[in-house]
C-alpha cells in the first residue's frame, strides 16, 4: 500500500509540475476554388478551413515569382470570395496564397489553382 501511495504521489507531482500543453495554431487551408478557370473580373469562391478574418489577412494569386493581391469581398471560417483583378495575366495558371495574421505572419501557398482565360 505504501508503494502504491508513493507512486501516486509521484504521478501527481509530475502532472502538476509539467508545463501546460500549447494549443496548436490553426493553419488556413484552401481546398477548392470555383470556378477553376475564368476571365479577369470573374468572381471566385474559395472554400477550405480556418479562413476567417482573425486568421487570414490577405489572399494572393502567385506564379511562384509574382504575387497579385486579391480583394477579399466576403470572408467566413470556410469561405473566401474574391474577383480576378485586371493585373492577372491571360493564359497564366496561378496558385492561391494566404497571408496569416498574428505575431508572426506567414505566407502559405495553397494546393489549389486558378487559370485566367481570354
10 DSSP assignment: H
101 by Cβ neighbours in 10 Å (0-12 / 13-18 / 19+) ranks as middle
Q: Contact at 8 Å (CB) between 29 and 63?
A: no
Q: Which CATH number fits the domain that encloses residue 86?
A: 2.60.40.10
Q: Is residue 15 in a domain?
A: no
pLDDT of residue 76: 98
- Average pLDDT of the chain is 87
Q: Which cell is 46 given?
A: 474559395
Q: Is residue 29 in a domain?
A: yes
Q: Contact at 8 Å (CB) between 41 and 117?
A: no
Q: Contact at 8 Å (CB) between 61 and 26?
A: no
Q: Is residue 18 in a domain?
A: no
Q: Is residue 112 in a domain?
A: yes
Segment (H or E) for 76: strand 72-76
pLDDT of residue 47: 98
The model's pLDDT over 15-42, given as tens digits with 9 standing for 90+, comes to 555 455 555 678 999 999 999 999 999 9
Which domain range does residue 93 map to? 23-116
Q: Contact at 8 Å (CB) between 70 and 88?
A: no
pLDDT of residue 102: 87
Q: Is residue 1 in a domain?
A: no
Higher pLDDT, residue 117 or 5: 117
Q: Is residue 5 in a domain?
A: no
Half-sphere exposure of 22 (CA within 13 A, CB side): 3
Domain count, the chain: 1
Q: Is residue 8 in a domain?
A: no
**Which residues does 93 contact at the CB level (< 8 Å), separation at least 6?**
63, 113, 114, 115, 116
pLDDT of residue 19: 52
Q: Is residue 4 in a domain?
A: no
Q: Contact at 8 Å (CB) between 45 and 96?
A: no
pLDDT of residue 25: 75
Amino acid at each position: 500500500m505504501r508503494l502504491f501511495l508513493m507512486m501516486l504521489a509521484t504521478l501527481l507531482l509530475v502532472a502538476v509540475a509539467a508545463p501546460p500543453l500549447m494549443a496548436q495554431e490553426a493553419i488556413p487551408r484552401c481546398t477548392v476554388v470555383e470556378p477553376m478557370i475564368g476571365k479577369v473580373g470573374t468572381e471566385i469562391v474559395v472554400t477550405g478551413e480556418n479562413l476567417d478574418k482573425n486568421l487570414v489577412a490577405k489572399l494572393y494569386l502567385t506564379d511562384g515569382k509574382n504575387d497579385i493581391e486579391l480583394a477579399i469581398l466576403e470572408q467566413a471560417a470556410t469561405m473566401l470570395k474574391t474577383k480576378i483583378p485586371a493585373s492577372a495575366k491571360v493564359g497564366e495558371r496561378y496558385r492561391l496564397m494566404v497571408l496569416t495574421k498574428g505575431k508572426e505572419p506567414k505566407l502559405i501557398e495553397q494546393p489549389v489553382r486558378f487559370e485566367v482565360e481570354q
